[in-house]
């Protein structure tokens, strides 16, 4: 069996990066538990992370500081970039029966990307469990 790979959602990345975040300890404990397992980023989580961290109401960082913080995360030795090699339609195909609302669009993409790559999407959002269903529960880890 190959080494596990984890794709943290943007909410986990924000929690890891902000010691005052309500879920920082939870996210940090998860990060310590996975040790040297593959820690995946993709262009969706990277872009959303910078957007949130540069938002004055959320991260409050300057754009350059938000990008620098992402660069620090990407420099973690076991961090890898997961390229998007398939269309949204291809990646969400197994999830279509449980895709019911516009707020699930990005969640479906990230979960589909994890499924397609044999990885685990890590999130603080419990609503994604319904999208994964029993069939893809192994590809989802909800921390909160």
Give me the pLDDT at residue 3, please.
78
144 pLDDT above the threshold of 70: yes
pLDDT digits (tens, 9 = 90+) for 56-66: 999 999 999 99
The pLDDT value given to residue 128? 93
Residue 135 near residue 115, CB atoms below 8 Å: no
CATH of the domain at 9: 3.40.50.1010
**Which domain covers residue 109, as residue numbers?**
5-142
Q: What is the pLDDT of residues 89-133, one digit of tens each?
A: 999 899 998 988 888 899 999 999 999 999 999 999 999 999 999
Q: What is the mean pLDDT of the chain?
A: 94
pLDDT at residue 1 in the model: 47
Tally the domains of the chain.
1
* Digit-coded pLDDT (tens) for 29-47: 999 999 999 999 999 999 9
In sequence order, what are the residues at sequence separation of 6 or more whose Cβ sits closer than 8 angstroms to the Cβ of residue 95?
108, 111, 112, 131, 132, 136
At residue 103, the pLDDT reads 86
Query: Reading across the β-sheet that carries 120-123, which strands appear in turn?
Result: 79-81, 38-41, 5-8, 120-123, 140-142
Tell me the sheet residues that pair with 123.
142
pLDDT at position 2 over 80: no
């Amino acid at each position: 069996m190959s080494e596990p790979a984890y794709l943290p959602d943007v909410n986990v990345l924000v929690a890891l990066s902000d010691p005052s975040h309500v879920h920082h300890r939870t996210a940090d404990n998860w990060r310590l538990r996975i040790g040297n397992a593959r820690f995946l980023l993709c262009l969706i989580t990277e872009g959303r992370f910078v957007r949130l961290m540069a938002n004055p109401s959320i991260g409050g960082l300057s754009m350059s500081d938000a990008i620098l913080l992402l660069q620090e995360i990407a420099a973690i030795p076991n961090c890898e970039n997961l390229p998007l090699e398939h269309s949204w339609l291809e990646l969400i195909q197994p999830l279509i029966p449980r895709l019911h609302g516009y707020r699930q669009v990005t969640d479906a993409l990230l979960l589909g990307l994890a499924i397609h790559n044999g990885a685990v999407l890590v999130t603080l959002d419990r609503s994604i469990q319904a999208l994964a269903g029993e069939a893809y529960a192994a590809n989802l880890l909800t921390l909160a």
